[in-house]
Homo-oligomer: A and B are copies of this chain.
């Protein structure tokens, strides 16, 4: 029924995470019925991001300035560095504003299965940053998956000769988590790392 242009827009929106074919159709209708307040602002925002987006040459974050807003923020503690797999992880950790330092995005994780080797990730750049000095602590904030932890171990080995404190995120029961829904691995970690009360 729709024109090819409208179908193409529906399909482009349906590929976004969180939207399926039905909700994409509703979103297209929303845009068509609100040209000035919804369609045009979205179009301008996309144009602007498309024209200006760059990968930060320091940390690998995606932003519209290089170095990115995180790297160039003078209020951040340059002595603490948090290493993450993806930009999504950087955003997730930064949203909470709990980590006061800077970040380093690896661009993936080591994976024998997918053929991802150390030289495919920005590990050399990380070692350069650490070797340049001025960093006291490196937090290895990989995902708690087999591949994430393999990557963390590899990086820990490569960094062990530098005078830095190497840390990793705590494992345990997630806040709000119910014990009988958790896997044995998480429960084992939570028990092993148990702490005195009070």
Interface positions of A (Cβ within 8 A of B): 1-6, 8-9, 11-13, 15-19, 23, 25-33, 35, 38-50, 52-53, 62-65, 69-70, 86-88, 91, 94-95
Closest chain B CB from A13 CB (angstroms): 7
Interface SS of chain A: helix
Assess whether A43 is in contact with B48, with CB atoms less than 8 Å apart. Answer: no
**A50 with B69, Cβ < 8 A, contacts A17-B23, A30-B17 known:** no
Closest chain B CB from A169 CB (angstroms): 19
Bound form: Cα–Cα A33–B86 in Å: 10
Assess whether B1 is in contact with A33, with CB atoms less than 8 Å apart. Answer: no
Looking at A9, A16, A33, A87, which has the most chain B CB atoms within 10 Å of its CB? A16
